[in-house]
Chain A
Amino acid sequence: MNTMNTINNANEVLVECQSVWKIFGARSSAAAKAVSERGLSKSQVLNEFNCVVGVSGASLQVRRGEIFCIMGLSGSGKSTLIRLLNRLVEPSFGKITVKGKDIASLNAGELRDMRARNIGMVFQSVALLPHRTVLENAAFGLEVRGIAKDKRNEIARAALEKVGLGDWTTRYPDELSGGMQQRVGLARALAADPEIILMDEPFSALDPLIRRQLQDEFRQLTKSLGKSAVFITHDLEEAIRIGDRIAIMKDGMIVQVGTAEQIVTKPADGYVADFVAGISKIHLVRAHSVMQPVDEYKRLHPGANLGVLLHASPEADIAELIDLTMQSDRDAVAVVENGAIIGVVTTRCLLRGVAGTSTAAVDVG
């Protein structure tokens, strides 16, 4: 029954924002009204009301089981946006629903309950209570829910084991390294068994090696436990490593939402393109977005025999395609879906894919 539900609800939307605004400042409510009535822009709001727009017109959906990354530089509004999702920040207007329920309608008790049970949060600062042991910290969420000590310690110990800190339960936070502290933070969120975990730049302060390790562990853990997560980061590579989908924020607005491949191959504007420029494409760009249509290949290579080319799936990334090309004595690989050749990846296509100019639609000499 339960598994059936999970399967049926694979595309269920857990968290949804519909054109949400957050305006900070003394006259924020007047400014919010003006925005909704007259459609003011961010700079107009600043000039007219002396209010700062934190988040402007953000809409997004987080589905069950999905890791949704929000990427933006500091000041882009990403930290405000994630705090809107559990109402640590009240929206100026717009609607936010969690599991189909409008969170603006919750009273204080219901809001506490939602935060305690449905939405966990992990902070960049970790915020481990210094006077409590690792185990007591991990059990904190259960403790405030009034769960008996034996029971909550058992759950917390299991959560600590999941993050690889089973032997550290009696230590104090200051005896742990930064990476380990952040693992305790994650264990604390997991122990409460929420469906959604909000990750507010959790790995930003860690050194690169530990960060990568934690990114992989986090993704694996979240997927194996079937949790959904909203993950804030200022690092596009981190977003690509972790996220199923990525939203790029700039000046309080979401400028693009898509999978890593979509964002890297089809940046929505110059801002995103600049970000993407430095990203290695070989594991992101897939055959279907660089291949040449069969007709065109035949036109350019009259007499070529498609039958002798090696086959690749449309989902093969550039690294795999390069391997295949190296193995064969031809300079092209056929892309095959359901037994039919749907396109051809030539060396030129590969170079274009690595360089980052998108699609095979451009002229092929």
Chain B
Amino acid sequence: MDISVITDTFDEWTDVILSWISDNGEGLFDFIRAVLEGTYDGILWLLQLAPFYVIAILAAALGSRLVNIWFGALAGLALILCAFMGLWAETMSTLALVMTATVLALFIGIPIGVVAGFSKALDRVLEPVLDLIQTLPPYIYLLPAIALLGYGPATALIATVIVAMPPAIRLTSLGIRMTPREFIELGQATGLTPWQMFAKIRLPFAIPSIMAGINQSLMMAFGMVVIAGIVGSGGLGETIYGSIRTLDIATSINAAIAIVILTMVLDRLTQSAVDRAKETDR
């Protein structure tokens, strides 16, 4: 028997299943799209409420408070540069996409991570799944998403959430599991209920690790949001994709610079939050 028969049958089945899901789950996918796009639109609306210099000043203030005054000044100037390159709307769209995806990824990932921190069995099941998610090329996730949710930001968000979730799950689970033994013993000897043990002992010790997970999720989300330009995510990713197609090198470089600026500003800000969490955990 020819091997290709098996693979062809498999491919056929995949198509059949996908179209069945898409036909029968229409209501569900409409709902998911509504939630995703609703959240995204809400955040974008908020970001566009203020003119660019207000956002730049806010970033500068936050940067000089959390990191140092030089970083704050640089962050503010860099964002103003984004506006002068004529990419302010796109920059804010990308920021809104990243924030929506990251928040959703954390919303799902942290609770799963907490449960995995307690349950060895779940952790054993999750480990290969997360490995798989992280080894597959990220644009793979765009394909089923575009089949089910169509062209637009919802597809970009779903794919980004999938890519951004693993670090949040892993590092939350690690943090919960790494509670120093003597503090578990303290909790037991003090007569803590299981819930108190979680809230008063395990969680506080896990915060630095969870914060590191948040930072990593954010970085993964940035990477994916650019790739998701292909499916019409809007924002800088789509600008780059569009300019590649027309060989408009100048615009694509401008957009790339804007992405680098946004990524570095958010990375440094969340990284300093991680450092702070570690410091209080001396």
CB–CB A131/B190 < 8 A: no
- Cβ–Cβ < 8 Å partners of B183 in chain A: 127, 129
User: Contacts A131-B281, A144-B200, A174-B282 hold; do A123 and B190 have CB atoms under 8 A apart?
Assistant: no
Q: Are B280 and A88 in contact (CB under 8 A)?
A: no
> Interface digits, B178-190 against A, CB 8 Å rule (1 contact, 0 not)?
0010110110111
Q: Looking at the complex, which one of B182, B188, B204 makes contact with A131 (CB distance below 8 Å)? A: B204
Q: Are A144 and B196 in contact (CB under 8 A)?
A: yes
Query: When the two chains form the complex, which single residue of B182, B191, B200 contacts A112, counting CB atoms closer than 8 Å?
Result: B191
* Interface set, chain A 92-139, CB cutoff 8 A to B: 111-117, 119-121, 123, 125, 127, 129-131
**Residues 119 to 178 of chain A near chain B (Cβ within 8 Å):** 119-121, 123, 125, 127, 129-131, 140-141, 143-145, 172, 174
Residues from chain A with Cβ under 8 Å of B189 in the complex = 86, 88, 115, 119-121, 198
Interface of B is mostly: helix
**Is B182 within 8 A of A114, CB to CB?**
no
Known: A130-B281, A144-B200. A116 touches B185 (CB 8 A): no
Please report the total number of B residues contacting A with Cβ < 8 Å: 18
The listed residue (A88, A117, A129) touching B204 by CB distance below 8 A is: A129
- CB of B191 within 8 A of CB of A130, answer no
A115 lies within 8 A of B186 (CB) = no
Interface contact B196-A88, CB-CB below 8 Å: no
**Are A116 and B190 in contact, CB atoms less than 8 angstroms apart?**
yes
Tell me the complex Cα distance, A129–B207, Å: 13
| B143 located at the interface, meaning its Cβ lies under 8 Å from any Cβ of chain A in the complex | no
Instruction: Report the minimal beta-carbon distance from B278 to chain A, rounded to whole angstroms.
Output: 11
Contact A125 B182 (CB under 8 A): yes
Q: Is B192 an interface residue (CB 8 A)?
A: yes
- Of chain A, the residue at the smallest CB distance from B282 is A174
In the complex, what's the smallest C-beta–C-beta distance from B45 to chain A, in angstroms?
37
Residue among B186, B192, B196 facing the most chain A CB atoms (10 A cut-off): B186
B135 within 8 A of A: no
B4 interface contact, C-beta 8 A: no
Kindly identify, within residues 259 to 282 of chain B, every residue whose CB is under 8 Å from any CB belonging to chain A. 280-282
Chain A residues within CB distance 8 Å of chain B: 86, 88, 111-117, 119-121, 123, 125, 127, 129-131, 140-141, 143-145, 172, 174, 192, 198
